[in-house]
Structure 1
Amino acid sequence: MARAASQVYVAKGKKVVHLDLKRDRPSDDQLLALLLGPSGNLRAPTMRAGKTLLVGFEAEAFGELLG
């Protein structure tokens, strides 16, 4: 799912990590470290809007992204 996206935003607490997958290609291990929570499951909520993948939740940042 993440590899099909061109932009990935991952919220961890108040911090939001942005990956531009068209420009930078992290390793699978690096990508999984961002996408998986402490239980080993995909962080929730996870949603895809076009070619953008949003993982986790941070209201202010995602409000700006989703309009």
Structure 2
Amino acid sequence: MIINWAYFRKGCASCQKAQESLGRTKIQIKKEVNARQEPLEAQKTWDLLADSNKILIASGNKIREYSPGPDKKEEILKIVLGRSGTLRAPTLKIGNTFYIGYSNEMYDELVGKG
């Protein structure tokens, strides 16, 4: 599996779980970004997400799927930005799909693709 872009925050329990899940498979991360050193606020986040085909967002036990478009911007940003107003970690970009947040179900499916 090739991960085009990975966004992790040190000390983040969900990020640690994500990295452990990914560590069980053969993966290559082309670019890894430290969320504390390079926080992405609303506009930068939208610039990143807007050209994707699909966005999968893990929130609690739910996984929501979105196709980005101008009419979805506010709705998507409300979910993908944390309390600090920056992109939630972990976030992965695989192909033209973003995976935001962590759930066992979402990462089990990703690892299965590896």
* 1:20, distance to aligned residue in structure 2 (A): 2.9
For structure 2, the residue ranges without an aligned partner over 5 or more in a row are 1-47
2:73 match: 28
- TM-score of the pair, normalised by structure 2: 0.50
Q: Distance in 1 between matches of 2:110 and 2:52?
A: 15
Q: Distance in 2 between matches of 1:16 and 1:49?
A: 17
- TM-score of the pair, normalised by structure 1: 0.78
Residue 27 of structure 1 aligns to a residue whose secondary structure is helix
1:50 equivalent to 2:88? Answer no
* 1:34, distance to aligned residue in structure 2 (A): 1.6
Q: 1:12 aligns with which of 50, 56, 59?
A: 59
Instruction: Give the number of aligned pairs.
Output: 64
Q: Distance in 1 between matches of 2:110 and 2:101?
A: 13
Cα deviation digits, residues 4-62 of structure 1 (max 9, x gap): 210100111111111134xxx34321121121122222111011001000100112223
Larger radius of gyration: 2
Matched residues, percent identical? 30
Report the more deviating stretch, 7-16 or 56-65: 56-65
Q: More helix per residue: 1 or 2?
A: 2
Give the RMSD, CA atoms, in angstroms: 1.6
Q: Distance in 1 between matches of 2:108 and 2:99?
A: 11
What code does the residue aligned with 2:66 have? L
